[in-house]
């Protein structure tokens, strides 16, 4: 077993885990943060995307011990506690950017990271290119692309 310590959604957490425990397993099974999902075993689908030290990471692809001391943000921590939704969450709802909801947390975390890197004015080809690592089987991406463009703009207006 190996000891891990990190900050998750602003809270310091520690645990004692089997060294082969993936970050996503640590989040889901030890911290019971089940909003982060597992959709594949080859790092293709992106349902498990979280932010580690401000960058999007597929949490199925790193061991928990690899992010020792890091600042991890999951879908549960995106909006302020008891505050309004994050503008990207709101945009997904407003533009019907989700159906079954399973890929959604990863999509939203990827989208926020996209805005952090690319700014608030995202055009259709950019968004589609940036979604390379996130699979959705329900929406045909049409409304996800619309939601991300709108969410990016809203984040620029100081709501994010």
Partner 1 sequence: MSATGIGAAVRRKEDQRFITGKGHYTDDVNRPGQSHAYFLRSPHARARIKAIDSKAAAAMPGVLAVLTGAELAADKVGGLICGWMIKSKDGSPMKAAPHPAIAHGTANYVGDAVAVIIAETLAQAKDAAEKVKVDYELLPPAADPAKAQTGPQIHEVAPRNTIYQWHLGDPKAVEAAFKAAKHVTKLDLVNNRLAPNAIEPRAAIGEYDAGTDSLTLWNTTQNPHVARLVISAFVGIAPEHKLRVIAPDVGGGFGSKIFIYPEEVVCLWASRRIGRPVKWVSERSEAFLTDAHGRDHVTHAELALDADGKVMALKVKTIANLGAYMSTFSSSVPTYLYGTLLSGQYEIPAIYCEVDAVYTNTVPVDAYRGAGRPEATFVVERLMEVAARELDVDPADLRKKNFIKKFPHQTPVIMNYDAGDYHASLKKAMELADYAGFGRRKRESARNGKLRGVGFSTYIEACGIAPSQAVGSLGCGVGLWESAEVRVNPTGSVEILTGCHQHGQGHETTFAQVISDRLGIPIENVSVVHGDTDKVQFGMGTYGSRSGAVGISAIVKALDKVESKAKKVAAHMLEVAEGDIVFKDGKFTVAGTDKSAAWGDVALNAYIAHKFVGAELEPGLKEGAFYDPTNFTFPAGCHICEVEVDRETGESEIVAWTAVDDFGTVVNPMIVEGQVHGGIAQGVGQALLEGVVYDQDGQLVTGSFMDYCMPRAQNLPVLKVDMTTTKAPSNPLGIKGCGEAGAIAAPVAVINAITNAIGTEDLAMPATAQTVWQALQKSNNGQKAA
CB of 96 to partner 1, least distance (A): 5
Beta carbon of residue 59, minimum distance to partner 1 (angstroms, whole number): 13
> Using CA atoms, how far apart are residues 21 and 117, in angstroms rounded to an integer?
29
Tell me how far apart the terminal alpha carbons of the chain are, to the nearest angstrom. 39
Q: CB of 124 within 8 A of CB of 145?
A: yes
**CB closer to partner 1, 101 vs 119:** 101
CA 31, 37, 43, 46 dihedral sign is negative
Q: Which is nearer to partner 1, 27 or 62 (CB)?
A: 27
32 or 157, CB closer to partner 1?
Answer: 32
- H helix intervals, 8-123: 23-25, 87-94, 104-118
Measure the CA–CA gap between 86 and 112, rounded to whole angstroms.
10
Least separation in angstroms between residue 54's CB and partner 1 is 19
Cα angle 34-12-116, degrees, rounded to a multiple of 5 = 70
Q: Which is nearer to partner 1, 69 or 138 (CB)?
A: 138
Which residues, in sequence order, are bridge partners of residue 7? 12, 71
**68 or 123: whose CB is closer to partner 1?**
123
Q: How far is the CB of 41 from partner 1 (least distance, A)?
A: 5
Which residues are near partner 1 by CB under 8 A?
Answer: 18, 20, 28, 33-42, 44-45, 47, 74-76, 78-79, 85, 89, 92-94, 96, 98-105, 108, 124, 127-129, 131-132, 134-145
Could you tell me the smallest distance in angstroms from the CB atom of residue 9 to partner 1? 10
Q: Where do we find the tokens 């089987």?
A: 137
């Amino acid at each position: 077993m190996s000891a891990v310590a990190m900050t998750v959604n602003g809270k310091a957490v520690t645990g004692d885990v089997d060294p082969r425990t993936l970050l996503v397993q640590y989040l889901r099974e030890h911290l019971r943060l089940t909003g982060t999902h597992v959709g594949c075993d080859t790092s293709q689908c992106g349902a498990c995307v979280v932010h580690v030290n401000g960058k999007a990471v597929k949490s199925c692809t790193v061991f928990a011990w690899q992010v020792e001391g890091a600042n991890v943000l999951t879908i549960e921590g995106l909006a302020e506690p008891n505050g309004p939704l994050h503008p990207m969450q709101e945009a997904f709802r407003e533009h019907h950017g989700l159906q079954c909801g399973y890929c959604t947390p990863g999509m939203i975390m990827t989208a926020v990271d996209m805005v952090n890197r690319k700014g608030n004015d995202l055009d259709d080809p950019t968004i589609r290119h940036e979604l390379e690592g996130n699979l959705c089987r329900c929406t045909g991406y049409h409304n996800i692309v619309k939601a991300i463009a709108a969410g990016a703009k809203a984040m620029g207006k100081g709501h994010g």
